[in-house]
């Protein structure tokens, strides 16, 4: 496994990415074009993501449900923007049990439709509100160009759907969930994202507005990491989700939805990993520590077991690599798999009363006395790794975040090293489209920050907003 050759990142970024996916056995291609098999190492990361987010969602009062996979065409069509936005990229079920169906179904590309229809039938009064629902499921979008994890026809995600009495409460929810994602990306995945509002052109089909977390990959390409949508009453009016208010009138609910996906596994690679393979931040790594005995000395093995036991008893997931492979092979394998910390113990270490730690992120070796408080030492070291990985990613992001005052600035940056480009914008979609002519630049999000010049970077007219631009996966 560790022997697979990984193309260097600086030689061919796209090839490097796929090589890491394959070498770390995160996913593999299947006979279904654009759909991957998520292998045990990849799925274990997703399980960690699910565990952490699910706990947070529940702490905030959300409950899990499961809506049908299929959406009847007539139901999808009720919200005009939604059907326009998604219809060109859905998969259609037209036959069931060898018979042509009277009405075709699409496989959910997202579930606003089914949640809205459910809500409509399940609330009558303000006493039933809010409903704070979430579901973990698969969705399908018939993409033309795909890439493992980052963009595949089928992917796994969670989609939160909530309905509220007031606009204020729904907007608070929209923002609260964006903050949850920000926390998740920053503190757990060590990915420093930029948060803001999408432009009208880039917002979710059917939303009043969309908040987004935008992450920057090592090569300067940006990735939409998670989104939180405020629907206002658009869906509730289209799907007739009415209730009796406190003053005994009929009104439509205010609605939100929010989600993040398995594409974050791809982001972990593209932000943190290197030519030796996967590098995982400790807070998301399913296994934090690998212990590798050097030789078969009984005292060595007993020390390995003692350490392993102590770590696991203190909720630091570790394991001993007791396979027949050589230590060198085990080191390489631990590296390609991205295990944050490696502990080696050999007879000579014992004789010298020492123990060797190796950090995956920096390859730094740290030698400590055998008698240290192992759980404390490892726990601190994992925290340091987590913090350092975040800081390095932040430094990289900042290095690749540019300011452009003129369209020439933009072109120059894009021809040198793409990244996030901050530039003022007049709010006109035509100027947005003109930016796209430069290597496919798209608006990533609108920032609240002060504008650079006050003039639109494209047309020179008065600018309304500071926008982050970038090319995207």
Q: How far apart are the first and last CA of the chain?
A: 28
Euclidean distance between CA atoms 176 and 265, whole angstroms: 23
Site membership for a copy of itself, residue 68 (CB under 8 A): yes
Euclidean distance between CA atoms 110 and 165, whole angstroms: 23
Sign of CA dihedral 222, 228, 233, 235: positive
For the bound state, the minimum distance from the C-beta of residue 341 to a copy of itself, rounded and expressed in Å, comes to: 22
Using the rule CB under 8 A, which residue among 13, 22, 44, 405 binds a copy of itself? 44
For the bound state, the minimum distance from the C-beta of residue 211 to a copy of itself, rounded and expressed in Å, comes to: 26
Site membership for a copy of itself, residue 65 (CB under 8 A): yes
For the bound state, the minimum distance from the C-beta of residue 95 to a copy of itself, rounded and expressed in Å, comes to: 4
Using the rule CB under 8 A, which residue among 138, 309, 314, 326 binds a copy of itself? 138
Per-residue contact flags (x/-) with a copy of itself for residues 311 to 350, judged by CB under 8 A: ----------------------------------------
For the bound state, the minimum distance from the C-beta of residue 192 to a copy of itself, rounded and expressed in Å, comes to: 28
Residues 6+ apart with CB under 8 A from 264: 49, 185, 189, 225, 226
Nearer residue to a copy of itself within complex by CB, 133 or 218? 133
Euclidean distance between CA atoms 34 and 87, whole angstroms: 18
Nearer residue to a copy of itself within complex by CB, 117 or 361? 117
Euclidean distance between CA atoms 151 and 119, whole angstroms: 30
Using the rule CB under 8 A, which residue among 122, 348, 365, 376 binds a copy of itself? 122
Euclidean distance between CA atoms 315 and 317, whole angstroms: 6
Q: Which residues pair with 401 in a beta bridge?
A: 420
Pure H helices in 372-424: 374-399, 407-416
- In 3D space, the residue among 325, 356, 329, 331 whose CA is nearest the CA of residue 343 turns out to be 356
**16: its two tokens:** 């490097």
The DSSP bridge pattern shows strands 318-320 and 36-38 to be unpaired
The DSSP bridge pattern shows strands 242-244 and 250-252 to be antiparallel
Tell me which stretch binds a copy of itself (CB under 8 A): 60-68, 356-364, 371-379, 428-436: 60-68
Using the rule CB under 8 A, which residue among 6, 53, 156, 264 binds a copy of itself? 156
For the bound state, the minimum distance from the C-beta of residue 98 to a copy of itself, rounded and expressed in Å, comes to: 6
Nearer residue to a copy of itself within complex by CB, 3 or 430? 3
* Binding residue count for a copy of itself, defined by CB under 8 A: 54
Sign of CA dihedral 298, 304, 307, 313: negative
For the bound state, the minimum distance from the C-beta of residue 56 to a copy of itself, rounded and expressed in Å, comes to: 16
- In 3D space, the residue among 188, 237, 242 whose CA is nearest the CA of residue 46 turns out to be 188
Tell me which stretch binds a copy of itself (CB under 8 A): 134-142, 276-284, 354-362, 425-433: 134-142
Tell me which stretch binds a copy of itself (CB under 8 A): 68-76, 345-353, 436-444, 446-454: 68-76
State the DSSP H helix or E strand holding residue 132, giving kind and residue range, or none if neither. Answer: strand 131-140
For the bound state, the minimum distance from the C-beta of residue 55 to a copy of itself, rounded and expressed in Å, comes to: 12
Taking residue 100's Cβ as centre, other Cβ atoms within 10 Å add up to 8
Using the rule CB under 8 A, which residue among 13, 39, 176, 405 binds a copy of itself? 39
Site membership for a copy of itself, residue 248 (CB under 8 A): no
Site membership for a copy of itself, residue 4 (CB under 8 A): no
Using the rule CB under 8 A, which residue among 15, 55, 64, 309 binds a copy of itself? 64
For the bound state, the minimum distance from the C-beta of residue 152 to a copy of itself, rounded and expressed in Å, comes to: 9
Nearer residue to a copy of itself within complex by CB, 82 or 217? 82
**352: its two tokens:** 């010298």
Q: Of residues 70-99, which lie at the interface with a copy of itself (CB under 8 A)?
A: 70-72, 75, 87-98
**Cis preceding linkage at 130, omega within 30:** yes
Contact between residue 375 and residue 383 where contact means Cβ atoms under 8 Å apart: no
Length of the chain, in residues: 473
**Residues in the site for a copy of itself, rule: CB under 8 A?**
28, 30-32, 35-40, 43-44, 46-47, 63-72, 75, 87-98, 104-105, 107, 114, 117-118, 121-122, 133, 137-138, 140, 142, 144, 153-154, 156
């Amino acid at each position: 496994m560790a022997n697979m050759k990984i193309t260097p990142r600086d030689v061919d970024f796209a090839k490097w990415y796929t090589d890491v996916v394959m070498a770390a056995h995160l996913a593999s291609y299947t006979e279904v074009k654009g759909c991957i098999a998520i292998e045990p190492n990849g799925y274990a990361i997703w399980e960690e993501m699910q565990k952490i987010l699910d706990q947070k969602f529940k702490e905030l009062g959300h409950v899990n449900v499961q809506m049908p996979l299929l959406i009847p065409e007539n139901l999808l069509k009720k919200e005009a923007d939604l059907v326009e936005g998604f219809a060109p990229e859905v998969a259609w079920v037209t036959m069931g049990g060898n018979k042509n169906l009277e009405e075709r179904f699409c496989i959910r590309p997202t579930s606003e439709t089914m949640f809205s229809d459910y809500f409509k039938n399940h609330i009558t009064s303000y006493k039933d509100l809010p409903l704070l629902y979430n579901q973990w499921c698969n969705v399908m979008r018939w993409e033309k160009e795909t890439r493992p994890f980052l963009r595949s026809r089928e992917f796994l995600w969670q989609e939160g759907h909530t309905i509220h009495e007031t606009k204020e409460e729904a907007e608070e929810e929209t923002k609260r969930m964006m903050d949850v994602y920000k926390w998740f990306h920053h503190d757990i995945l060590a990915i420093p994202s930029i948060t803001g509002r999408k432009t009208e052109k880039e917002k979710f089909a059917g939303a009043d507005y969309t908040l987004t977390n935008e992450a920057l990959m090592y090569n300067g390409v940006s990735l939409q990491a998670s989104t939180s949508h405020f629907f206002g009453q658009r869906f509730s009016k289209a799907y007739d989700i009415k209730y009796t208010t406190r003053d005994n009138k009929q009104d439509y609910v205010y609605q939100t939805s929010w989600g993040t996906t398995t594409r974050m596994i791809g982001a972990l690679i593209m932000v943190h990993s290197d030519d030796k393979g996967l590098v995982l931040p400790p807070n998301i790594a399913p296994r934090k520590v690998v212990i590798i005995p050097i030789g078969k000395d009984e005292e060595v093995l007993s020390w390995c077991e003692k350490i392993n036991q102590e770590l696991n008893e203190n909720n630091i997931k570790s394991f001993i690599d007791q396979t027949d492979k050589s230590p060198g092979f085990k080191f390489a394998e631990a590296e390609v798999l991205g295990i944050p910390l490696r502990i080696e113990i050999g007879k000579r270490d014992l004789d010298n009363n020492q123990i060797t730690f190796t950090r995956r992120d920096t390859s730094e070796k740290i030698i400590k006395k055998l008698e240290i408080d192992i759980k404390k030492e490892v726990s601190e070291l994992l925290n340091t790794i987590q913090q350092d990985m975040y800081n390095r990613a932040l430094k990289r992001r900042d290095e690749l975040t540019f300011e452009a005052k003129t369209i020439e600035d933009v072109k120059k940056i894009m021809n040198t090293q793409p990244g996030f480009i901050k530039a003022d914008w007049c709010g006109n979609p035509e100027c947005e489209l003109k930016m796209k002519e430069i290597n496919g630049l798209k608006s990533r999000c609108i920032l609240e920050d002060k504008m650079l010049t006050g003039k639109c970077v494209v047309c020179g007219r008065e600018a309304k907003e500071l926008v982050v631009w970038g090319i995207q996966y």
